[in-house]
Amino acid sequence: MTVERKTLGVSQGGTSGGGDVRATFALTGARYEKLKERAREQRHHPSEAQAALWAELSASKLGGVKFIRQAIVGSAIVDFACPSRWIAVLLSPEGANVEVATLQDAKLRQVGVRVLRFAESEVLSDIDSVVQAISVEVNRPFDKRAARRGGAGVQMEDTEA
């Protein structure tokens, strides 16, 4: 059973051809429920960096653009998502597995999501530059139709700490 839901406009159907990466975003009902529960738990117990960045992004403070926290995007939970701009912001704790982060970022980019990744230490030490980098990406021109086709013509960059 596949759960149909709208997540940053990514198609959740399993009717894709060949190597369509969107098919890997399809979730079973049990997996989706597990992700929902995990995201809820993370919202209730955010890290210090997540709480600090949420204070800057909540209530549409960043140019009137809405962000949501601990959002399920495809088969991943991202720390912050801006559905209207197809942006996912992820925070990497110290000692995080770089290979897993790289794979997660690549999967999101392949379906047209713009990924910004920051180290939690960077958020805590220089939150103004992190918010500025997010603001730049929010205000960058973006073609939603190209993103839905799998990123064709979408210029994406990420910020690594």
With contact defined as beta carbons under 8 Å apart, do 57 and 134 qualify?
yes
Query: Rounded mean pLDDT of 111-133?
Result: 96
CA 71/CA 79 separation, integer angstroms:
7
Say what the pLDDT of residue 148 is. 64
With contact defined as beta carbons under 8 Å apart, do 29 and 3 qualify?
yes
For 35-49, the pLDDT digits (tens) are 999 999 999 999 999
Query: Rounded mean pLDDT of 145-154?
Result: 56
**Predicted TM-score (pTM) of this structure:** 0.76
CA distance readout (Å), 59 to 63, 65, 69, 86: 10, 9, 11, 18
Residue 23 has pLDDT above 90, yes or no: no
Say what the pLDDT of residue 116 is. 97
Say what the pLDDT of residue 13 is. 39
Say what the pLDDT of residue 58 is. 94
Indicate the pLDDT class of residue 25, thresholds 50, 70 and 90. Answer: low
161: tokens are 């700490």
Could you give the percent of the chain with pLDDT greater than 90?
A: 60
Say what the pLDDT of residue 75 is. 85
Task: Note the CATH number of domain 21-148.
Answer: 3.40.960.10
